[in-house]
Amino acid sequence: MHSFTNTTMYDYIFLWGWISTFACILYMLKEQSNCNKKILILERDSTIIEKNLSFWSAEFPDVLEWLSYRSWSKSRVVDNGSWKWWVIRTIPYRSIRASDFIHFVEEKIKKSWFFVEKIIDNVTTIEDWAEFGVVTCTSKSVFYWKIIFNSIISLAPSASSQYDFFQCFVGYELSTKKKSFDHSTATTMEFFDYSWQISFVYTLPTSSNDALVEYTYFSKDAPISFSMIENKLVDYLDSFWTYTVIKKEQWVIPMRKHTPRRAVHIVDIWTAWWATKPSSWYTFLSILSHAQAICSTFTNKKSLPLPYSKRHRWYDMIMLEVMSTYPEKYHTLIVKLFKHTPEHALVHFLNEKSSFREELQVIWSLPKRIFIRSLFRYYAKKLCK
């Protein structure tokens, strides 16, 4: 990666350089018109957050080329209360490591005419002025430029409003003494402890003895402590296997109602524009899609796109209402979704590539009373504002 002095004028400034930042740079590299670009990434620290980025896809995205990934021919949802499970067999489930993705993009930068500088500083404010965007940091450094990409959710519009949910998880990469996993099948949701209403176990086997196992909990209003989630994970693992922990990961993803920013020089990306959607639970493909749309906009000189369709935003609102009002019914809703929705329609919906007909199939599979009541509650709240 090239470096240059702080007096250099930047083409783009990115606030926090995680997945969305490198996804945007990746698509910029694909555009011939974006040669010789100078980019600044303002990092809050030098830590690389390690996480698995998973998605359903019949084909591995072309833009990722030679990037290594893992794939499972089958994926399933398990209800331990009834000891039943439902399997998706026609569309593979895939996963890459965040660090591998970042390294992949950094290698492509080295072979390009792009110049990228990273500065460790804490961003305090961003402003949209008439001629440019303005970034102010704790160190009193001030940066001015035409396009600022913001991944910091506390600086996003409506960031002061109450979050609907926090998706909190703790995961172990572990190894068992005995053969314990079907390495051809990913378990995307296993409902295990019904006392924790919106929670599930997530398992990605890499061999018969090795897997990533995560415990996920959707916390209302404020994040729950990682230690509490880890205790639940350990209880689950101890009930099945003798194992050795190789690596641990933990993370919190806020899931909230989002107000699109009306700005000329500031573009919100990642969780600042709500990449993790409550009606789909997944993030990575939506990040790639949004990054591609942004870079296409710059090339064709069009207005910036909304990060999601209005129709899918409506589904998100209703799903949040369901989760908020009927948390004890969440696992029932997911089980019915996987049990009664055709596989392709379900995966297209989760990836936000669904047709209106496929969305009707998804809606028809849901518990009708819960869905209709949540619909009325959502519109009643809107009328009361």
List the 52-56 sheet strands across, edge first. 52-56, 93-97, 70-72
Fold for the domain defined by 58-91+165-255: D-Amino Acid Oxidase; Chain A, domain 2 (3.30.9)
Confidence grade of residue 228 (pLDDT, cut at 50, 70, 90) = very high
User: In this predicted model, what pLDDT tens digit does every residue of 234-264 receive, in sequence order?
Assistant: 999 999 899 999 999 998 887 766 566 777 7
Amino acid in the structure at residue 150 = N
How many whole angstroms separate alpha carbon 115 and alpha carbon 267?
Answer: 21
Beta strands in 234-275 (DSSP E): 243-255, 266-268
Mean pLDDT in the chain?
83
Phi, psi of 244 (to 5 degrees): -120, 130
The DSSP-derived string for 72-111 is: ESEEEEEETTTTEEEEE-SS-EEEEEHHHHHHHHHHHHHT
With 0-12 CB in 10 A as exposed, 13-18 as middle and 19+ as buried, what is 359?
middle
Q: What pLDDT is attached to residue 179?
A: 93
Of the two residues 298 and 324, the one the predictor is more confident about is 324
Name the pTM for this structure: 0.84
CATH for 12-50+97-161+256-300? 3.50.50.60
DSSP state of 153: G
Tokens of 300: 């064709």
Angle (nearest 5°) at CA 244 between 239 and 248 = 95
Q: What is the mean pLDDT of residues 175-184?
A: 93
Residue ranges of domains in the chain: 12-50+97-161+256-300, 58-91+165-255, 310-384
* Per-residue pLDDT at 366 exceeds 80: yes
Coil, strand or helix: which one is 176? strand
Q: What pLDDT is attached to residue 233?
A: 96
Q: How many CA atoms lie within 13 A of 57 on its CB side?
A: 18
* Per-residue pLDDT at 6 exceeds 60: no
Confidence grade of residue 201 (pLDDT, cut at 50, 70, 90) = very high
User: In this predicted model, what pLDDT tens digit does every residue of 154-171 receive, in sequence order?
Assistant: 777 664 445 568 889 999
Residue 172 and residue 212 in contact, taking contact as beta carbons nearer than 8 Å: yes
Residues ≥6 apart with Cβ < 8 Å to 53:
19, 95, 96, 97, 98, 101, 283, 284
Most confident of 179-183, 266-270, 289-293: 179-183
